[in-house]
Copies of this chain bind each other. A is one copy, B any other.
């Protein structure tokens, strides 16, 4: 018997500005209610009260919540609460402040800016890999059977597929055999067969009446922790003789789209996702959510390109190892537990319906293989695209996001590592840090004389916070202006209205409240500086360890390839000034853009490229940096601006000492 008096009371929670009402029982967690209702509130730490990102304002009603170190008394008084630390005790209207909302507008930009730099870099990949999609579509006019030629229908199809061969190159599975006899005869032996690549043979996955060769599409998807980017590729165009010359290997992208990975409501980094996946039903929920995100993108792509989803023959996905575990619904637990062993880094092709994609039953899902828990298929995809494995000169490949993944090598050998850089450059751990969305301060110059800043925000919107490239600029400028010392601490001797003592030590005021969209001073604190120092030191130390393992030094590098959206916007000179990037001739730096997506796209249209990703993944030697003493030494040495080894940054040191830029 349940006593009615003991039943939890029911309330209604209204979220603004999205204006969505969710039912809730007394004691329910506010962040969880929002999650269930599909209302986005940023929560970097996965809801454990550590990050303080999930600030909301209780506009009406109340919640049960105590003060928190991330909330000032003033904020608390104004009704601000951390959603993750609040429980329902009455009906309420919850305002989600601008900083806590997800901004989608940034994502409308093409994921790859096809600028000359990236194009030149991947030219080799395009040239070296023949146009042969992982799933091909061939129109066959088969000779009908006769008494002198009455091989099986399956053998006839296979023989027609690879003329002159005995047909053993193509398997025809039971699914296709089902109605094959009728289909072939109804079509008078004129059919289009769609054949998927397996390890070393083809498998018929669809037989259609008549010539449908040109109606043949593929999807390339980069499943990132934050963002999912997808492109729709017209494989049918590359199929036809008349345009074979031009787009050979250069897949015609006919639509592209991107969206935040729906999983960000469950934590901003992979660790929070893994934590969530360990809750009951968590793994399944995270899988469902990323699949929903992908399905939303598919709908978007086919809508804008006027393509039928049933005509998409295959999908190639690249993503980090955790994302792949969650996509396939397999337990990622050990990725976060030492010694960090993933369950798998390579996945056999499966039917895309297997994970719930809304495509035809025949559409195959291929995955670019990864290397280790923190060096995933997204990196392998980018490395393959960059062509560094086809060159004899040694390249350093860097993808700096939450983790800095780095790969060193050439056509003979490959070393890789992930240097837990921390999320500073994506806004994590930085008081006013944010992603590169509108309002993010992305470029900063500081007048050395009076420390007055000049800045540019994304889309020129009123400042909301500071994104990665802005942070690099600020640190470099404050350092070169002498406002902070080589330890990243404010030089107290510089008196300026912009340098002041705040709640957590000294801080520099970039924008005063009146100038911002958030009615608060946007500052950079010594705590922020320390976080940036750690991040840049980790990346530099990681590179150093890889180089030493290859008995090389920075000057030996023929090329430094910077991949990823963040990399694309940074100012090389400033990044060198703070010691994030090494001081080598600037022309050796190359920007690749979204290498993960680019590689997935190449794999979709080139079986040889896809096979190469497997070879690359297997030949990469992963150097584990956690608990690596060499790395710890290098890290400590790099916790200095630009570096304790000043000889490695002669030009930076010269400018610092002379104030003269050559």
CB pair A181–B333 under 8 Å, yes or no, is yes
User: Which candidate, A16-24, A140-148, A301-309, A437-445, is the interface stretch facing chain B?
Assistant: A140-148
List, in ascending order, chain B residues with CB within 8 A of A152's CB: 341-346, 372-373
Q: Which residues of B contact A655 (CB under 8 A)?
A: none
Residues of B within 8 A of A148 (CB): 624
* A168 cross-chain contacts in B, Cβ below 8 A: 614, 618
The A342-393 residues at the B interface (CB cut-off 8 A) are: 342-348, 350, 354, 372-373
A343 touches B150 (CB 8 A): no
Contact residues on A (Cβ < 8 Å of other chain), bracket: 35 or more
Is A551 engaged at the interface, CB distance under 8 Å to the other chain? Answer: no
Question: CA A624 – CA B150 in complex, angstroms?
Answer: 8
* Residue from B147, B156, B347, B624 within 8 A of A338 (CB atoms): B147
Is the CB–CB distance between B154 and A345 below 8 Å? yes
Q: Which residues of the partner chain B approach A203 to less than 8 Å between Cβ atoms?
A: 348
Q: Which residue of B lies closest to A340 (CB)?
A: B150
**Residue in chain B with minimal CB distance to A615:** B168
Instruction: Return chain B residues, CB-CB under 8 Å to A177.
Output: 328, 330, 343-344
Minimum Cβ distance to chain B for residue A340 (Å): 5
Measured in the bound complex, the distance between the Cα atoms of B173 and A13 in whole Å is 44
Q: Could you tell me the distance in whole angstroms from the C-beta of A164 to the nearest C-beta in chain B? A: 14
Question: A166 an interface residue at 8 Å Cβ cutoff?
Answer: yes
Q: What chain B residues lie within 8 Å of A201 (beta carbons)?
A: 199-200
Chain B's nearest CB lies how many Å from the CB of A27? Answer: 32
Docked Cα-Cα span, A343 to B176, in Å, equals 11
Complex Cα–Cα for A348 and B177 (A): 11
Say how far A229's CB is from chain B's closest CB, in angstroms.
24
Asked if A504 CB lies within 8 Å of chain B CBs, one says no
Interface residue from B154, B200, B339, B350 paired with A200 (Cβ < 8 Å): B200
Expressed in whole angstroms, the Cα–Cα distance for A156 and B334 within the complex equals 14
In A142-178, which residues have CB < 8 Å from any B CB? 145-156, 166-168, 171-174, 177-178
A180 at the interface (CB under 8 A from B): yes
In the bound complex, residues from chain B placing their C-beta under 8 Å from that of A300 are none
| A573 interface residue per 8 A CB criterion | no
Q: Are B145 and A341 in contact (CB under 8 A)?
A: yes
Complex Cα spacing A198 to B198, Å: 11
**Interface check A105, CB cutoff 8 A:** no
The answer to whether the Cβ of A182 comes within 8 Å of any Cβ in the partner chain is yes
Chain B CB within 10 A, most for which of A156, A330, A372: A330
| A658 at the binding interface (Cβ < 8 Å) | no
Check A627 for interface membership: any CB of B closer than 8 A: yes
* Contact yes or no, B154 A344, CB < 8 A: yes
Residue contact A348 to B150, C-beta cutoff 8 Å: no
Contact present for A174 and B346 (CB under 8 Å): no
Complex-state Cα separation, A259 to B270, whole angstroms: 58
Whether A334 pairs with B153 at a CB distance below 8 angstroms is yes
- Closest residue of chain B to A167 (Cβ to Cβ) is B618
- The answer to whether B174 touches A354 (Cβ under 8 A) is yes
Residues on B with beta carbons closer than 8 Å to the beta carbon of A180:
343
A626 within 8 Å of B by Cβ? Answer: yes
CB distance from A349 to the nearest CB of B (A): 10
Q: Using an 8 Å CB-CB cutoff, how does the interface string of A257-278 with B read, 1 for contact, 0 for none?
A: 0000000000000000000000
A328 to B176, CA, bound (A): 12
Contacts A178-B330, A201-B199, A333-B181; A173 near B348 (Cβ below 8 A)? yes
By beta carbon, the residue of chain B nearest A342 is B152
A372 with B151, Cβ < 8 A, contacts A173-B348, A178-B330, A614-B168 known: yes
Q: Is A28 an interface residue (CB 8 A)?
A: no
**Interface positions of A from 319 to 339, Cβ below 8 Å from B:** 328, 330-331, 333-334, 338-339
Closest to A345 in B: B152
20 A-B pairs with C-beta separation under 8 A = A146-B339, A147-B338, A150-B624, A151-B345, A152-B345, A152-B373, A153-B343, A154-B345, A155-B344, A155-B345, A167-B618, A168-B614, A174-B347, A174-B354, A178-B330, A180-B343, A181-B331, A181-B343, A200-B201, A203-B348
